[in-house]
């Protein structure tokens, strides 16, 4: 079951639906989320033809006039990453050539974000390359959620609004009325994210996992910095990919005396063998959002999927009305 965070539409929302300059279009990556956002805004998704040629090339045509309109294209660049990224670029180009006034790429999950700097010689900074591609395709603005690192915002030479899934996760955890909470960062790089999460969760104490990574998608956990004995540990990360990092973190938390372990992440990438690891019995609950669709075959009893549709819808409304976005998170 997908739960939605509660956000009350602004009093002038009905005026927004009467504004024929706003268009919301969806790529194929996460149509259910786009439909939820459209319902929040009180409008329909724009009609579009999407097909493939025999050799796999994508073809996209917008099926209504968008001349002079503010167009919002919702497309996470999730699995298959390259196909969804190319689809986003073609949609942007189609809107630009159709004389859209402004094109905002709404990217709930930004693929290639982990390659955000050079850590060895002869590496690509793919996060910057993707930013260049989206900008050159004709995007006027970006709306992204929980980027892997905040520095990616600087890779774009166009305005970028960065929003967070943490309010949705925190609202859900608060409703469970858990006691003796400690928020845990699974690595040193996520300390700022975990600290902000803990502050909003009634200023809960913070613990850190000291981790040494041997290779990509392989993690070795060393020790816990902080007191977790007898407490309910809430692991916080931006994404869960193969779940290697978060599994090893849960193991050492249990060994250090944690009573229960919850895992929270915005992006449910869930590459194999993530499902086996997350359903192993170490986690009381795994809480994610629907920035990336989670099909039935990747679901398991401990999984809870929360909807960020209202959060994205409210952000789109505020951008369109030239209102403050940051005030949503104060």
Active site residue 200: no
Q: Which residue, chain included where needed, has tokens 């967070």? A: 164
Q: Which residue, chain included where needed, has tokens 């009609």? A: 47
DSSP conformation class of 78: -
DSSP conformation class of 132: H
Cβ distance 110 to 133 under 8 Å? no
Closest CA to 278 of 308, 309, 299: 299
Q: Which residue, chain included where needed, has tokens 């070795």? A: 220
Q: How many CB atoms lie within 10 A of CB 33?
A: 24
Catalytic residue among 51, 211, 231, 251: 211
Beta strand 232-240 with 303-307 is: unpaired
Q: Which residue, chain included where needed, has tokens 């919702």? A: 74
* 239 vs 264: CA distance, rounded Å: 9
Q: List residues with catalytic annotation.
A: 211
């Amino acid at each position: 079951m997908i739960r939605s965070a509660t956000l009350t539409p602004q009093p002038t929302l009905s005026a927004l639906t009467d504004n024929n300059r706003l268009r919301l279009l969806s790529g194929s990556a996460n149509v259910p989320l786009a439909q939820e956002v459209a319902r929040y805004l009180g409008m329909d998704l724009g009609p579009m033809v999407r097909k493939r040629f025999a050799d796999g090339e994508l073809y996209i045509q917008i099926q209504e006039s968008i001349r002079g309109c503010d167009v919002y294209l919702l497309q996470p660049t999730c699995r298959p990453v390259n196909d969804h990224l190319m689809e986003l670029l073609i949609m942007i180009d189609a809107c630009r050539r159709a004389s859209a006034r402004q094109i905002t790429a709404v990217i709930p999950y930004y693929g290639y974000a982990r390659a955000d700097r050079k850590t060895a010689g002869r590496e690509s900074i793919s996060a910057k390359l993707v930013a260049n591609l989206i900008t050159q395709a004709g995007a006027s603005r970006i709306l992204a959620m929980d980027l892997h690192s905040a520095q990616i915002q600087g890779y774009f030479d166009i305005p970028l609004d960065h929003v967070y899934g943490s309010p949705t996760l925190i609202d859900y955890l608060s409703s469970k009325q858990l006691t003796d909470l400690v928020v845990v960062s699974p690595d040193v790089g996520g300390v700022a994210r975990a600290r902000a999460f803990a502050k909003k969760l009634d200023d809960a104490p913070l613990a850190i996992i000291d981790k040494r990574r041997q290779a990509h998608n392989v993690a070795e956990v060393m020790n816990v910095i902080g007191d977790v004995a007898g407490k309910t540990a809430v692991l916080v990360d931006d994404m869960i990919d193969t779940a290697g990092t978060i599994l090893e973190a849960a193991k050492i938390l249990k060994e250090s005396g944690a009573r229960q372990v919850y895992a929270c992440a915005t992006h449910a990438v869930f590459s194999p063998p993530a499902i086996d690891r997350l359903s192993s019995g170490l986690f009381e609950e795994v809480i994610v959002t629907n920035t990336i669709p989670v099909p039935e075959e990747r679901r398991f009893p401990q999984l809870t999927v929360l909807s960020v549709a209202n959060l994205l819808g409210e952000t789109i409304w505020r951008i369109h009305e030239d209102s403050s976005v940051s005030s949503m998170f104060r």
